[in-house]
Chains A and B, each alone.
Chain A
Amino acid sequence: GAGVSQSPSNKVTEKGKDVELRCDPISGHTALYWYRQRLGQGLEFLIYFQGNSAPDKSGLPSDRFSAERTGESVSTLTIQRTQQEDSAVYLCASSSVGPGTPTYEQYFGPGTRLTVT
């Protein structure tokens, strides 16, 4: 009965390198969200996956950012050619959507703290 897990918990990378962040949602949750949270700031929506529907990519800040999800399981967020402004905590959340899920509550993982030097 594990919750949402993310890896790595911390990542330090050099400017210009690519990074890949991983999210394992709660089993059976069809919706998966990626957020970015800069230090002292609010949650910034990045991308949303819902079942087999086309993802909502409206929050991705640039074409350096991309994400994939295999079915209703693991998702990876990839940032290419990282910049210092990409430094933030990247949070993943999952949600159960459908009959019998009255709240559409999102369950968050612990996040990946990305530092670009």
Chain B
Amino acid sequence: GQNIDQPTEMTATEGAIVQINCTYQTSGFNGLFWYQQHAGEAPTFLSYNVLDGLEEKGRFSSFLSRSKGYSYLLLKELQMKDSASYLCAVGSYAGNNRKLIWGLGTSLAVNP
């Protein structure tokens, strides 16, 4: 079956670093995506990993290990505006069918 696991909730302090983990078991793998969703808004794309290793983009970094079925999103120098839900999704493609398998999201609360 298809399964993506991530923690339901996390809390961190402004200025700190937080790591949000995601593990997956899918029938196919065509990249792992992280999206950010603020309350009442649509998800927006943060990062994409298809090869093992770390991808850095400003304060956000994303890591992938395909052999372990594991990814994490690292947020540095946390700001209050980073309070949001972070969604992990895996591309599972078959022929022309390109779907993302979504995790339930990790709700991050950044406290002053």
Which residues of chain A have a CB within 8 Å of any CB of chain B? 31, 33, 41-43, 45, 48, 50-51, 53, 56, 91, 95, 97, 103-111
CB nearest neighbor in A for B45: A105
**CB-CB < 8 A to B99: which residues of A?**
33, 45, 48, 56
- Known contacts A43-B87, A105-B45, A105-B48; A31 and B98 CB within 8 A of each other: yes
Give, as a whole number of angstroms, the nearest-CB distance from A49 to chain B. Answer: 11
B44 within 8 A of A: yes
Interfacial residues of chain B within 22-72, with CB under 8 A of chain A in the complex: 30-31, 33, 41-45, 48
Report the bound CA distance from A51 to B42 in whole Å.
24
Report the bound CA distance from A45 to B87 in whole Å.
14
CB nearest neighbor in B for A110: B42
* Pair A106/B104 contact, Cβ less than 8 Å: no
* Pair A50/B97 contact, Cβ less than 8 Å: yes
Which residue of A42, A91, A104 contacts B98 across the interface (Cβ within 8 Å)?
A104
* Beyond known contacts A56-B97, A104-B98: 14 more, CB 8 A cutoff: A42-B87, A42-B103, A42-B104, A42-B105, A43-B102, A45-B99, A45-B102, A50-B98, A97-B98, A103-B31, A103-B33, A103-B48, A106-B100, A110-B41
Interface size class on chain B is 20 to 34
Most buried by B among A31, A41, A53, A105: A105
- Known contacts A104-B91, A107-B45, A111-B42; A42 and B102 CB within 8 A of each other: yes
CB nearest neighbor in B for A41: B104
Give, as a whole number of angstroms, the nearest-CB distance from A40 to chain B. Answer: 9
